[in-house]
């Protein structure tokens, strides 16, 4: 069962010590807002069973076998794939991935959630492939002593060095073009490249496809 596999991996996964400290810091900050009302009393806390969602999944399986089968066949694989592919720095957001079940009118809704408040803003890291450095050609070395009008020798050497990572060999005209691009980039602010939003790739897009398939399977099973 894919759902039971997700809950088992979620239970066994351990975030790093820094992630645990971060969660404790959030709890301490949240408690500050309660000071005006007399602070937080332990007796006021409601502590749900940490295995509540797993038990709800078992209850759903017993009471609604058609719905449970659709959840297992389609939502379960999405949850497991998201858990396996979720990027890790401290591991906090991965440890807070969970499956929730809600009643919406007469419908039972399964939701893959992440309780880290910054989860939606996590993006893939962007990696620009770097060309292997090479030695300058004799003609490129000679060209370094002939910068174009208005260019310093340092700018010209930089342009030839950048061009050498792109073509072999670098022509005079090509180096002039590189020099112009360098000057353009220095004259305006460059926005940092952003990778894909992880939640879009791992949750929303596959989740939409899974929801369509679940609807079809459930409709076919209750005829």
Say which DSSP state 204 is in. Answer: I
**Within a 13 Å sphere around the CA of 82, how many CA atoms are in the beta-carbon half?**
35
Question: Which residues on adjacent β-strands are paired with residue 103?
Answer: 108
Question: For 158-209, what is each residue's pLDDT tens digit?
Answer: 999 999 988 999 999 999 999 999 888 877 665 655 778 888 889 889 988 9
Q: How far apart are CA 75 and CA 70, in angstroms?
A: 8
**Within a 13 Å sphere around the CA of 95, how many CA atoms are in the beta-carbon half?**
16
Give this prediction's pTM.
0.54
Question: For 65-106, what is each residue's pLDDT tens digit?
Answer: 887 788 888 888 898 899 888 888 778 888 888 888 777 777
How many other CB atoms are there within 10 angstroms of residue 13's CB atom? 14
- Residue 130: pLDDT band (50, 70, 90) is low
Task: Give the pLDDT of residue 174.
Answer: 94
Q: How far apart are CA 27 and CA 6, in angstroms?
A: 26
- Residue 49: pLDDT band (50, 70, 90) is low
Greater model confidence, 135 or 29: 135
Q: How far apart are CA 79 and CA 5, in angstroms?
A: 9
């Amino acid at each position: 069962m894919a759902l039971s596999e997700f809950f088992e991996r979620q239970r066994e996964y351990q975030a790093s010590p820094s992630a645990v400290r971060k969660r404790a810091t959030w709890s301490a900050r949240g408690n500050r807002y309660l000071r005006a009302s007399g602070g937080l009393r332990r007796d006021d806390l409601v502590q749900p069973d940490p295995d509540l969602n797993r038990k709800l999944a078992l209850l759903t399986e017993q009471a609604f076998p058609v719905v449970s089968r659709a959840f297992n066949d389609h939502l379960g694989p999405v949850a497991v794939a998201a858990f396996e592919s979720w990027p890790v720095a401290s591991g906090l957001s991965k440890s807070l991935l969970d499956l929730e079940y809600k009643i919406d009118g007469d419908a039972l809704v399964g939701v893959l959630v992440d309780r880290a408040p910054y989860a939606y803003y996590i993006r893939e890291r962007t990696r620009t492939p770097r060309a292997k450095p090479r030695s300058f050609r004799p003609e490129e070395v000679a060209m370094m002593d002939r910068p174009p009008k208005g260019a310093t020798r340092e700018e010209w050497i930089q342009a030839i060095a950048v061009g050498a990572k792109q073509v072999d060999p670098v022509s005079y005209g090509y180096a002039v073009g590189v020099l112009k691009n360098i000057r353009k980039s220095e004259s305006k602010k460059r926005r940092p490249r952003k990778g894909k939003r992880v939640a879009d790739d791992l949750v929303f897009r596959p989740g939409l496809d899974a929801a369509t398939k679940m609807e079809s399977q459930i409709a076919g099973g209750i005829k």
